[in-house]
Chains A and B, each alone.
Chain A
Amino acid sequence: MVEKEPVLRVEDMTKRYGQKEVLHGASLRVNKGELKILIGPSGGGKSTLLQCINFLVIPDTGRVWLKGEEIIRSHKRDLYAYRQKVGMIFQDFNLFDHLTALGNVTIGLERVKGMAKKAAREKAVAELERVDLRNHISKYPAQLSGGQKQRVSIARALAMDPEVMLLDEPTSALDPELISEVLSVVENLRANGMTMVMSTHHMGFAREVADEIVFLEDGCILETGSPDKIFTHAECERTREFCSKILELYGNA
């Protein structure tokens, strides 16, 4: 097998807030079409790692390569271009409140990619259709349910044609009933070959669809492996403990 150049390579990310070190030299390689799932206790550094990857949080040390090309953060132009290629999904959606679902998707196309209004609209409608929101395109965020909002945010990210998507606990702010509609969108994306890094507490989902699971605690990657390995015969004691607690809580499904 030929050694594949990963779509996204992250090396030695460190971040401290004052005295507290929240990331401790984390490294990741994400191959094309792969879904990597970050698990671990809250405050373990999952969000910080994801936000450091596209420099929404500025890491203290650490380097990032997208398709073999290193991102130089101080080159603003390159940074903005890089961020377009990395879709980000947030825990609390972060839709633009003054724009309709459609407006949320077109704004990036028009203002960042410089697309013409009509083309942007067509593309946005297609993306919203993909996440099953054809009938809600002219609603404002205040008029949408949590699951719908999260799907709009996914459409907004997808419209930029990203190479990789980062999903930061996309379902943790949702009612239990709405979680599945978002997870099924993620599953669809994966089936269509989207490269993704996602943090979640849904072990059942992680087990079923992840290519690789990364266990993160206290800013360190303690263990990496296939879902089977992590959930049934993890090497690290802490991983086993965490997984069994979570599985106990949420069941195996």
Chain B
Amino acid sequence: MEELFFIQHDVIPALWRGMIVSIELIVPSAIFGLIIGIIIGNLRVFGNTIVAGIANSYVAIFRGFPLVVQLFIWYFGLPHLGIYLSPFVAAIVGFSLCSGAYHSEYVRGALLSIKKGQLLAAQSLGFSKMKMIISVVLPQAFRRALPGCGNEVIYLIKYSSLAYMITCIELTGEAKIIASETFKYTEIFLIVGAYYLVLTSVATWLLNRFENHLRLPGFDHYST
């Protein structure tokens, strides 16, 4: 009985507060990450040698550095250069850039899957390269990239828990505080795990709906 009271009055409100912060971190990071991924993916595929080289280096660095290290650099490192980011902003910057590097790989794969013939057809109609990418390539590549990009969003939901390492107190951060005050690690982190499970389940459901919404004949594997 006492246990239940504790959970209702201390744990739930704190975790709820944390979850709101988590969502505030995840949503913009997912959107910025996807935008960065689409841009970088296109530069890697359609850019000239120099541009593609720069984009490739970006991906190599941001996929190669551990995310925690990246967050430490944004939060603890940048002040040495006179740039001060709040924990919240530093976390979003870190997540977006890292997520963008991963997204760009899914986008790149999808871009390469568009048959060359369609590019020739667009060019033969007088499309410029830019217009061709926007009107012909991206609408198709985006559909093909979606399952992979969705996967990256699910990952993002979970690695958003690293934000507390740079003092941005989100879901895991709140849990850590209560747990260390009460020593009820098992109970609290089981509840936290369930919260993340709910978040990822909702995200999966939304992503599936979005995928279905964009489904076209010829872009699915069911016969129509």
A97 at the A/B interface (Cβ < 8 Å)? Answer: yes
* B116 (CB) vs chain A CBs: closest residue: A94
**B210 smallest CB distance to A (angstroms):** 16
Pick the residue among B125, B131, B216 that contacts A160 (CB under 8 A).
B125
Known: A83-B124, A94-B121, A97-B140. A111 touches B217 (CB 8 A): no
Residues of A contacting B216 in the complex (Cβ-Cβ under 8 angstroms): 97-98, 140
Q: How far is the CA of A30 from the CA of B141 in the complex (A)?
A: 39
When chains A and B are docked, how far (Å) is the Cα of A244 from the Cα of B219? 44
* Known contacts A56-B120, A156-B125, A143 near B139 by CB under 8 Å: no
Which residues of A have CB within 8 Å of B136? 96, 107
| Cβ-defined contact, B125 with A56, below 8 A | no
A142 contacts B217, CB within 8 Å?
A: yes
Q: Is the CB of A112 within 8 A of B125?
A: yes
A111 and B135 within 8 A (CB): yes
Contact of A112 among B115, B118, B126, B224 (CB under 8 A): B126
Known A80-B128, A140-B216, A142-B218; judge A56-B143 contact (CB<8 A). no
Whole-angstrom CA separation of A76 from B121 in the bound complex: 17
Q: Are A84 and B125 in contact, with the CB atoms below 8 A? A: yes
Q: Considering the complex, which residues of chain B in the window 102-147 have a beta carbon less than 8 Å from any beta carbon of chain A?
A: 115, 117-118, 120-128, 131, 135-136, 139-140, 143
Interface residues on B, range: 20 to 34
How many residue pairs at the A-B interface have CB separations less than 8 Å? 81
Q: Which of B120, B121, B127, B131 has the most CB of A within 10 A?
A: B121
Q: Does A88 contact B (CB under 8 A)?
A: yes
Q: What is the distance, in angstroms, from A75's C-beta to the closest C-beta of chain B? A: 12
Contact B121 A95 (CB under 8 A): yes
Q: Hey, which chain B residues are within 8 Å of A76, CB to CB?
A: 128
Least CB distance from B178 to A in Å reads 50
Q: CA of A176 to CA of B118 in the docked complex: distance in angstroms? A: 24
Contact flags B180-224 to A (C-beta < 8 A → 1, else 0): 000000000000000000000000000000000000111100001
Q: Is A141 an interface residue (CB 8 A)?
A: yes
Query: Which interface class (under 10, 10 to 19, 20 to 34, 35 or more) fits A?
Result: 20 to 34
User: Bound state CA distance, A100 and B139, in angstroms?
Assistant: 13
Cα distance A51–B120 in the bound complex, in angstroms:
9
Taking a contact as CB atoms under 8 Å apart, the answer to whether A112 and B121 are in contact is no
Q: B121: which A residues are within 8 A, CB to CB?
A: 88, 90, 94-96, 153, 156
CB proximity to B under 8 Å, residues A95-130: 95-98, 107-108, 111-112
A50 to chain B, nearest CB (A): 10
CA of A247 to CA of B194, assembled, Å: 74
- CB distance A140 to B131 under 8 Å? no
Do A56 and B126 have beta carbons less than 8 Å apart?
no
Closest residue of chain A to B125 (Cβ to Cβ) is A108
Contact A111 B127, CB 8 Å, known A94-B117, A140-B216: yes
Complex: A54 Cα to B123 Cα, angstroms: 9
B219 lies within 8 A of A97 (CB): yes
Q: A98-B139, A98-B143, A143-B224 are in contact. Are A83 and B125 (CB under 8 A)?
A: yes
* Complex alpha-carbon distance, A90 and B117, angstroms: 8
Distance from A178 Cβ to chain B, minimum over Cβ atoms (Å): 19
Closest residue of chain B to A113 (Cβ to Cβ) is B126
Q: Would you call A97 and B118 a contact (CB within 8 A)?
A: yes
Report the bound CA distance from A90 to B119 in whole Å. 12
Q: Distance (Å) between the CB of A176 and the closest chain B CB?
A: 23
Please give the distance in Å from A184's CB to the nearest CB on chain B: 23
Residue contacts A-B, CB under 8 angstroms, 17 given: A51-B120, A88-B121, A88-B124, A90-B117, A90-B121, A92-B117, A95-B121, A98-B143, A111-B127, A112-B125, A112-B127, A139-B217, A140-B217, A143-B218, A156-B125, A160-B125, A160-B126
Known: A95-B118, A140-B216. 8 other contacts (CB 8 A): A56-B120, A94-B115, A94-B117, A96-B140, A97-B140, A97-B218, A98-B216, A157-B124
| Chain A contact residues, CB within 8 Å of chain B | 51, 54, 56, 76, 80-84, 86-88, 90, 92-98, 107-108, 111-112, 139-143, 153, 156-157, 160
